[in-house]
Amino acid sequence: MLRKIICPFFNHGEISFHAGLNIVLGDDDARNSIGKSLALLVIDFAMGGISLQEDKAGAIASLGHHAYSIEFNFDNTRYFFKRATDASDLIQVCDENYSVTEEITVDVYRAKLKSLYDLDQLKSSFRSLVGPFSRIWNKGALEPEHPFSADPKESAAVAVERLIDFFERIAEIEREKAVLDANNERKRLISKSMSVEIIPKINKTQYKANQKTIADNAIVIESLKQGFAGALSAYEALFDEGLRVQQQRKNQLNTEREELRSKIDRVNRDLAGVAPRLSANISLVTEFFPDVNVKRLEQVEAFHQNISNLVKKELKKELTQLSTRESDVSAEIGKLENTMRADLAAKGTPDDLFARVFELKEVADNAAEENRFFDQKLAIDKETSLSKERLGAIYVNIFLAIETAINEKLKRFNKVVYDPKRNASQLRIKSANSYSFTSPVDTGTGKSYAGLVGFDLAMLSLTRLPFIIHDSVIYKNIEVPATRHILRILAAVQRKQIFLAFDEAAKFGPAAEGLLRSHTVLKLSHDDLLYIKDWRAQQ
């Protein structure tokens, strides 16, 4: 826990802290700008925060950049650090005399604090965990309706995930989320593959049409098989691997030959269209235009003639290559047809019957392949839907457990602070990105700062949250009798730390005043400020 903060600009040199309630107490006139909130910002700065550097109170502007020496104590082991306002991204690790032994980054420092505060089991960063519970003027986190949000701009989803993390239930969600993410990725890959036609893209209508094609072709094949005198030869031939390979190769070659013939026709058309672009009779041009540069015309003519010859040469070369390949393909097709005809004759199967049966089987197989991908897509869609349902059920279970635990604490808090007849603040987590915290107690302001305090105390009790920081502005919105009861509850906390800025102690009666003074770690007043310099007149 935090034990000490030292600064040469402190009026009292240092502030020492203890377990339980630590009060920065102002005077009975509730004067502002004496350093109460600044003292809390310094504590937050010691905990790795950055709000002090924003200097909304003017400490850095008035005092100049300065450093704070910080001491922690965990399991009877003392840790010493220094952090300066002009190099706050670096932390100096020190010995007990505050001699520097090494420098670490502020991120490493925060990670060290997370470990020392026994928060390593949680997924969130140290500042994400403690930041929302450092409720200080000019820093934020003072909205009673958003008790576990770091700032008003933070999404509800982030706040809800932080709350789940505090209750150490994140692992349950992440396991199912990993399954859901994997399914979503598979869906994305299938959809993308279909869109670029790597795999067939079909819909439910095409799927049903494919089913009909498969069934119809099976009937036709069976009919051909029964009607052919050679009995099962045609059907059995389909399962002769050699014949299947030959037929598939023949189909591929036929497709290639058609493409080659199309290209040959195109090249022949291009050759027929290549011709010189200038007039064939330069002398005729000079007759009408005596001043024309004949030499220049001859140069242009020669240039275009060369271009035309070059194009023709390339087209003829391409035509030769295409014709040669077309002849080779036709020859290979002829050989395949002869081989297949001989093989089928040996089996007693006419080649035209085989071709017909093969065609039917090929169409049916393609339809079955398309439907297989569609079935895979449906299976992934179903698994994704089931995963979402499981994840939803996990969330509901977690939300119910968290709500029950916190709301029960809020009821007990409300019973002590007010009475059982008055409604307690209530947490409702509607979804992973929506929640509400209703506080009907303080109807005069429409906000329940008492509910906010009750929520923080519930979190201190139920989770690993190590400390809370409360500014006096919170308690100025709570009725005096209720505040007396809250102070008794705060004073009863012993294992963890509460840092509280407070003033007007006498207003709450002798008992409350005595309690406040007994837990005071720093007393400030109009004439006894936090820092040695008073810049109030400058503001």
- Note whether 242 and 374 are same-domain residues: yes
- Note whether 478 and 333 are same-domain residues: no
Nearest to 36 by CA among 534, 491, 525: 525
403 inside domain: no
Quote the percentage of the chain above a pLDDT of 70. 81
Pick 346 or 503 by higher pLDDT: 503
Last residue of a domain, one of 355, 378, 401: 378
Predicted confidence (pLDDT) per residue in 427-486, tens digit: 999 999 999 998 665 454 434 789 999 999 999 999 999 999 999 999 988 999 999 999
- Note whether 356 and 225 are same-domain residues: yes
Last residue of a domain, one of 323, 345, 378: 378
DSSP string, 259-314: HHHHHHHHHHHHHHH----S-S-HHHHHHH-TTS-HHHHHHHHHHHHHHHHHHHHH
23 inside domain: yes
Predicted confidence (pLDDT) per residue in 231-240, tens digit: 344 444 444 5
Contact 409, 454 (CB under 8 A): yes
pLDDT at 101 over 90: yes
Question: What confidence score (pLDDT) does residue 347 get?
Answer: 55
Number of folded domains that form the chain: 2
What is the span of the domain harbouring residue 323? 204-378
- How many angstroms separate the CA atoms of 7 and 17, rounded? 15
Predicted confidence (pLDDT) per residue in 385-399, tens digit: 999 999 999 999 999
- Note whether 129 and 28 are same-domain residues: yes
Across 166-171, average pLDDT: 94
- Note whether 237 and 342 are same-domain residues: yes
Question: What confidence score (pLDDT) does residue 188 get?
Answer: 83
pLDDT at 297 over 60: no
- Note whether 10 and 136 are same-domain residues: yes
Q: What are phi and psi of 9, to 5 degrees?
A: -95, -5
Kindly report the pTM of this predicted structure.
0.70
- Note whether 100 and 209 are same-domain residues: no
209 inside domain: yes
Instruction: Please state, rounded to an integer, the average pLDDT across all residues of the chain.
Output: 83
165 inside domain: no
Last residue of a domain, one of 328, 347, 378: 378
Q: Which residues contact 119 (CB under 8 A, 6 or more apart)?
A: 126, 129, 464, 466
196 inside domain: no
Predicted confidence (pLDDT) per residue in 16-70, tens digit: 999 999 999 998 876 777 899 999 999 999 999 999 999 888 899 999 999 999 9
Q: What is the DSSP letter of 103?
A: E
- Note whether 131 and 212 are same-domain residues: no
Q: Which residues contact 283 (CB under 8 A, 6 or more apart)?
A: none
Confidence of residue 356 (pLDDT cuts 50, 70, 90): low
- Note whether 225 and 365 are same-domain residues: yes
- Note whether 246 and 373 are same-domain residues: yes
Pick 494 or 316 by higher pLDDT: 494
507 inside domain: yes
- In what helix (H) or strand (E) does residue 161 lie, and over which residues does it extend? helix 156-166
- Note whether 246 and 137 are same-domain residues: no
419 inside domain: no
Pick 1 or 314 by higher pLDDT: 1
520 inside domain: yes
- Note whether 210 and 357 are same-domain residues: yes
CATH of the domain at 10: 3.40.50
